[in-house]
A and B are shown apart, each in its own frame.
Chain A
Amino acid sequence: MKKFLSILLAVCLLALCLAGCGASSSGSQAAGGSSAAAGGDATGAGIPADQIKVGVIHIGDPADGSGYSYAHDQGIVGMQQALGLSDDQIIRKNNVADDDAAAIQTALEELVEAGCNIIFATSWGYMDYCEAMAEEYPDIIFSHGTGSKSNGTNFNNYFGRIYQARYLSGVAAGLNTKSNKIGYVAAWGTENGEVTSGCDAFAMGVYSVNPDAEVYVKTTNSWYDPEGEKAAAQALIDLGCDVIGQHCDTPNPQLAAEEAGVYGVGYNSDMAKDAPGAVLTSVVWNWSAYYTTAVQNVIDGTWVAGEKVDNYYGGLAEGFVDITDLSDLCAEGTAEAVEEARAKILSGEWDVFDGEIEGNDGQMHTSEYYLDVNWYFKNVVVK
């Protein structure tokens, strides 16, 4: 019987470990300088559009219908249509776990074998493998998303200034709260620059139109936790929040908002289709902006493997990030305020993290690079 009990406990422990592993795949903390990809000089011969081959590694399955891999794959499809590539010019490797060394290696080798000219690796954990492969195969471009490394010749990093779109969504949230308490379900705390910069930008958007409102943040410590995200949103609603923003993968915070009869701001995809009774707008990615630019650059010979590739950090101006059309739930004047903020960012004279900014610790902060932000804006309250 003791033996039996110990097996039972071991199984429980195992389950616990597995749950832990799932949670520890923390996100994309890119570091280092940024250099926007602009035209630049053509440094060599390009590859004709009908001969180029594009490889993609997805962490999940694009067939899922929503979420991270789906959004990336929509970007790839958009690129394919924009550039008129045929189906057999695009080779996908799906469900490649980004902590599975053997699977990543195999996927990359197969894409190289298939003759890909440029390979998009869409998840943080692929970074080191791409770096090594880039050294081994100097005539192939390895383009890694959400990372922090690059070599300037055939290995680059790409990511979007999602905080610009979040700022706009914050304007919408700030104008639609009545309790002046706005909830924000964050996947990670201040250790993650991507999540924290997004939360700060959202809070600054709120502050720009409604200085009295506070943004209450709760952290789930996971990118994908259906039950936790629902519980966090419910707890925020219970604290009196009447707009729920989010930086996590499921639409559950929006559904909780809809059920409670409060507003919400979705993320990743247009969540109005999930919770039409709550969503004011959603913060969305348009990955095809980058994929099209990148492949076009290879076709034009602007980027040549072994000679030159640039990092890419596009934002609102490039159409890489945006918010969806404001819903009818928005108060009057919201659209005008959002447009005003958009024009300010698009003018290029001002960006969200410009200058010294007061944090909720009372200190002034400056940030060279948005993914290094590890402090909360002054109206953010960790609840």
Chain B
Amino acid sequence: MDLFLKFLVAAVAAGTPLLFGTVGEILTEKVGHLNLGVEGMMALGACAGFMAGYATDNLLLAWLAAFAAGLGGALIYAVLTVTFMANQNVAGLTLTIFGVGLSNFFGIYMLGKSESGSLKLPEAVTAQMRSVDIPVLSDLPVVGPLLFQYNPFVYLGIAVALVCAWYLFRTKTGLNVQAIGENPGAADAASIDVTRWKYVNILLGGGICGIGGAYCSMIINGGVWLSDSVGGLGWIAVALVIFAAWKPHMAIWGSLVFGALRVLEYYVPQSMGIPAALYKMLPFLMTALVLVISSMRRSAGSRIPGSLGVNYFREER
């Protein structure tokens, strides 16, 4: 029982970077743009967040820097696909290659300048990003470790997901944004500023992905800089968007499930001899299953945005 509790805690920790990536990508896909650059934007955020924390000793500034770096990556993508109508798949893949490369390049550059050949966040930052300690609540048995002892990223991620869900489904702007994703021509005819809201959503989405990247470099790697720190999590986030049925609040559960699947192999006894490849496959198998089930149920509202992947040429209406 105790170990199961610890497994759940580990699952939440493993799911959090996925949550940021997924929510960011949902915002982007809701305006009809598939951004395969999640991995790249996360890598940019990983580098910027880490370096900002390294230089300023301040977690909040690290978050802002990570957000700004992810946003910068998304800006490249938005200019290419929204303004210049470039192919979305190609632009996104390129952004991934660029982002990961630039992040590693800058990391190695900074390593070269460090005296010990190693970059470690100062204690002032690591203290801020360790588990929170809320009086009374954190000390409760079971509930304490399960709900009130995570690092601040976890709570930020859930808050961001809930705010994004509220924004998309409970505000007029959000409904307009969804209309753009379904049918930009119709939205345009209803005098919604398609280009403006596409930019806003893509940039916000990129920024949120960036914070997820900072989680990888700061929490997963314990505050020591490593190359390729995102390590493919961005790709899983892209799959998780489908799993979450394009709903940010569903992404909270989705990332918990995917996080659990990612740490499962270390909590199920390896002496049972289940091949590691099976565990690595599980998240994607789940995604395929969800695709099958959701296409059978045909429930409205959990469908893929109607114009996803198609650029909007106003003159072709």
Contacts and interface: CB of A to CB of B under 8 A. Distances in A.
B269 interface: yes
B223 A255 contact: yes
A259 interface: yes
Contacts of A20: 277, 280
Contacts of B266: 218, 228, 231-232, 234-235
A150 interface: no
B270 A231 contact: no
Nearest to B116: A273
B190 to A, nearest CB: 23
A227 B226 CA distance: 11
A227 B118 CA distance: 19
A11 interface: yes
Given A219-B270, A221-B276, A63 B231 contact: no
Main secondary structure of the interface of B (DSSP, over half): helix
B152 interface: no
A280 to B, nearest CB: 17
Contact of B291 (A5, A225, A235, A383): A5
Nearest to A13: B284
A231 B14 contact: yes
Contacts of A258: 222
B276 A235 contact: no
Contacts of B119: 65
A185 B236 CA distance: 24
Nearest to B11: A231
Contacts of B228: 224, 226
A289 B253 CA distance: 53
Contacts of B291: 5, 9
A250 B10 contact: no
Contacts of A23: 280
Interface in B116-163: 116-120, 130
Interface stretch (B67-75, B107-115, B169-177): B107-115
A15 interface: yes
B270 A383 contact: yes
A224 B221 CA distance: 12
Contact of A19 (B223, B280, B306): B280
A8 B276 contact: no
B189 to A, nearest CB: 22
Nearest to A22: B232
Nearest to B272: A382
Nearest to B93: A11
Interface string B1-25: 0010011001000100000000000
Contact of B220 (A13, A218, A226): A226
Nearest to A186: B270
Contacts of A12: 235, 238-239, 284, 287
A217 B271 CA distance: 10
B76 interface: no
Contact of A251 (B224, B239, B277, B308): B224
Interface in A218-253: 218-219, 221, 224-228, 230-232, 234-235, 238-239, 250-252
Given A8-B34, A252-B222, A65 B108 contact: yes
Interface in B250-286: 262-263, 266-267, 269-271, 276-277, 280-281, 284
29 contacts: A5-B304, A12-B235, A13-B284, A15-B232, A19-B232, A19-B280, A61-B108, A63-B112, A65-B111, A65-B114, A219-B270, A226-B220, A226-B221, A226-B228, A227-B216, A230-B220, A235-B10, A251-B222, A252-B222, A252-B224, A252-B226, A255-B222, A255-B223, A256-B222, A274-B118, A274-B222, A381-B271, A382-B270, A383-B270
Given A235-B267, A238-B7, A275-B222, 4 more contacts: A11-B235, A64-B111, A231-B14, A382-B270
Interface of A: 1, 4-5, 7-9, 11-13, 15-16, 18-20, 23, 61, 63-66, 70, 217-219, 221, 224-228, 230-232, 234-235, 238-239, 250-252, 255-256, 258-259, 273-275, 381-383
Interface of B: 3, 6-7, 10, 14, 34, 36, 89, 108, 111-112, 114, 116-120, 130, 216, 220-224, 226-229, 231-233, 235-236, 238-239, 242, 262-263, 266-267, 269-271, 276-277, 280-281, 284, 287-288, 291, 304, 306, 308-309
